Structure 1
Amino acid sequence: MAIVFDNVRSRAPLRLGLGGGGTDLADYCFHHGGVVLNATIDRYAYAHLTRHREGGIVLKADDLGTEESLPCSLDFDIRQGLCLHRAVYHHMMTEYNGGQAVPMTITTTIDVPAGSGLGASSALTVALIEAHALAMQLPLGPYDVARLAYDIERRHLGLLGGMQDQYAAAFGGFNFIEFLKDEAGVIVNPLRLRRDHLNEFESSLVICFSGQSRESADIIKDQIGGLKIYNDETLAAMHDLKQQAHRMKISILSGDIPGMADVLRESWLAKKRTAASVSNSTVDTLLEVALENGAWAGKVSGAGGGGFIMLLADPERRYGLIRKLNQHGGEASAVKLTFEGAEAWAVR
């Protein structure tokens, strides 16, 4: 399969995990079945592919200030350096280009800091796959792209994490996603929300960067450890998170945003029971400030330990809430929901 387009761009949206996060870990969902409720937002991971006229492979992560130059071959370690760039390129050339390397420059950026808890790494993997798929005219649908992104991250690279981020980035929108037990498959259920319910939810939503990036792998390792040794508290907390995702879905479908906040509060307590490292003093302080200034409830997005905090608040007090969080060292803002998944386009 030859490269058809010499200049391609792509983007994939980041996501907020509203409920059920953690039940998408293989060690849980393959045994018990998992569900998550998530929504994509107007923050993106971007990839840009161009033919390299001088014959090499150049990999760039402009937001990290990192660049690598490799010979035009597939004889490199995918687990070194910019491993997502390397692994996607290596897989696409091996599987779809007869094992032949193509001279190429691959440049990426992400709208948020590393370790944000918004699924940025998986969104980047999805964006990289989408760009390659368009350049090579491959008939990959969103399920194909999401599953491939999962395989590359979790199996090829051995990166710890769940399954929701790849599907959220590939499909986009407000989704209730089921991860069937015994690896029977994944079902993405887009929610058909009334416009007034959606507007009220979005008007209640605040995200706040804690100022601390975190290494999700350590937290996930603690959670997986609890599951593998059949830690009763970890397992019970995961069961609670799954039930709370169902309850939160019912709340958003009925437009009950304070009801969503009640479940969010319970979900945060359950999440903290899955691993001791889920919260820290900075997160606790910002959540305390938020609850004193109009927030109904909040939790850390993603595995925890830092990154972004997601809050549901009284819309009439949202402006003051954002100002207070920023005065206390957070980086808070409103956020828009998005309903398009990963996209790629050729540059003429």
Structure 2
Amino acid sequence: MNVWRGEQVETLGRRRTTAAFDVRARAPLRLGLAGGGTDLSPYCDQFGGAVLNVTIDRFAFAHVSPDPHGAVTFRAHDLGVGERHALGSRPRLDEGLVLHRAVYDHMVETYLDGDAPALTVSTNIDAPAGSGLGSSSALVVALVEAFRLALDLPLGPGDVAHLAFMIERRKLGLAGGRQDQYAAAYGGVNFIEFLPGDKVLVSPLRVPRAYLNEFESSLVICFTGQSRHSETIIKEQIDGLVGMNAETLESMHQLKADAALMREALLRGDMRDMAEILMRSWKAKKRTARGVATDAVDRLFDLAIAEGAWGGKVSGAGGGGFLMFFTDPENRHHLISTLNAAGGQASSVKVTFEGAEAWSVPR
């Protein structure tokens, strides 16, 4: 039943400002362990892509509630940005809080017959913008999940992920791949294949608990302090694929092969092998586009290797954001302390197994 329905409110239209419930949702961020970039078109459309990713204890949150001013209000609390629009207005989708607006517009047009409700849609994310943790896509997934519950829509995780992808990549035309939406919608440790014809296969990995404990104990993530702008990097990768650039294609094939090898190493609990694959993938990733590595990335990366990290790479497209490293668990505290002293923002991280979730709370 639609959680906004009640005796005092007849429709989810302009009069709906007295509903008894608010809706909240969250979707996890992810670390891309291997295969990132092979989920880009046109590579996955022609050759099929494969990624291995894992969701972590960082989240994108969305909150949807009736707007007391009878308008449509969007807020991004972590960015300190807000905007208010009159009902029925059609703000542009090329500036401001475009993710919020695009999801709201889609829900109104597709499920409410264009009858725009007076709502406040607010968000926040547990990571800086441009983190490389899939935060923008997780935010879209959280927004879609909130509306899924609010409107009582029959959407499963695959539907939510596909809809989030269509809104972000097709409706808004934002550059990027497909893995982030599916990781956020499903949660956990997943080997995801992106096949021609927009077919997606999500295979959750049943990793023994002892191996997951070792994985978490060996893992260090570090924000470089440099928010990345991935559009230029992704465009160069796509241009290389469209033009059948031999080096780009060879690197993408290597990244896809590494995803399968990383899956097998994790299922064996072999952290040393995983670290070696990370290093090989990092070298392949740098060959796909200029700007994947920056001075800040190289400085922290080289320091981590010198201080005992077995291997590492960036999470996401590169150009900044988060680095991830594997190290001996007994060296993890030293590595974190050293990276922080050098200006990074390093920490441990835990694996999460729940995907996007939504719930209602009384007003």
Partner of 1:310: 324
Out of 355, 360, 363, the residue aligned to residue 341 of structure 1 is 355
| Greater fraction of residues in helix | 1
Q: Residues 104-115 of structure 1 correspond to what in structure 2 (within 5 A)?
A: 104-115=119-130
Any idea what SS the aligned residue of 2:291 has? helix
Distance 1:74 1:102 in 2: 12
1:74/1:101 contact within 8 Å kept: no
Q: Residues 244-259 of structure 1 correspond to what in structure 2 (within 5 A)?
A: 244-259=258-273
Q: Over residues 54-88 of structure 1, what are the superposed CA-to-partner deviations in whole Å (9 max), with x where a residue is unaligned?
A: 21000000111100000111523233310000000
Pairing 1:159–2:174 present: yes
**TM-score, normalized by length of structure 2?**
0.94
Partner of 1:78: 93
Pairing 1:209–2:218 present: no
Question: Structure 2: which amino acid aligns with 1:37?
Answer: L
Q: Residues 131-150 of structure 1 correspond to what in structure 2 (within 5 A)?
A: 131-150=146-165
Question: Structure 2: which amino acid aligns with 1:120?
Answer: S
Partner of 1:54: 69
Pairing 1:234–2:248 present: yes
Question: Structure 1: which amino acid aligns with 2:202?
Answer: V
Partner of 1:180: 195
Partner of 1:200: 214
Pairing 1:332–2:337 present: no
Partner of 1:30: 45
Q: Residues 254-293 of structure 1 correspond to what in structure 2 (within 5 A)?
A: 254-293=268-307
Q: Over residues 219-241 of structure 1, what are the superposed CA-to-partner deviations in whole Å (9 max), with x where a residue is unaligned?
A: 10110011111110001000000
Any idea what SS the aligned residue of 2:42 has? helix
Give ranges in structure 2 of 5+ residues lacking alignment: 6-18
Partner of 2:14: none
**TM-score, normalized by length of structure 1?**
0.98
Question: Structure 2: which amino acid aligns with 1:90?
Answer: D
Farther-moved stretch of structure 1 (72-81 vs 219-228): 72-81
Partner of 2:57: 42
Distance 1:57 1:78 in 2: 15
Distance 1:61 1:218 in 2: 25
Distance 1:245 1:212 in 2: 26
Q: Over residues 122-156 of structure 1, what are the superposed CA-to-partner deviations in whole Å (9 max), with x where a residue is unaligned?
A: 00000000011111111110000000000000000
Out of 32, 35, 60, the residue aligned to residue 20 of structure 1 is 35
1:334 to partner: Cα distance: 0.3
Give ranges in structure 1 of 5+ residues lacking alignment: none
Between Structure 1 and Structure 2, how many residues are aligned?
347
1:74/1:100 contact within 8 Å kept: no
Farther-moved stretch of structure 1 (291-300 vs 168-177): 291-300
1:31/1:182 contact within 8 Å kept: no
1:182 to partner: Cα distance: 3.5
Percent same amino acid among aligned pairs?
Answer: 59
1:279/1:306 contact within 8 Å kept: yes
1:47 to partner: Cα distance: 0.5
Distance 1:18 1:234 in 2: 19
1:282 to partner: Cα distance: 0.9
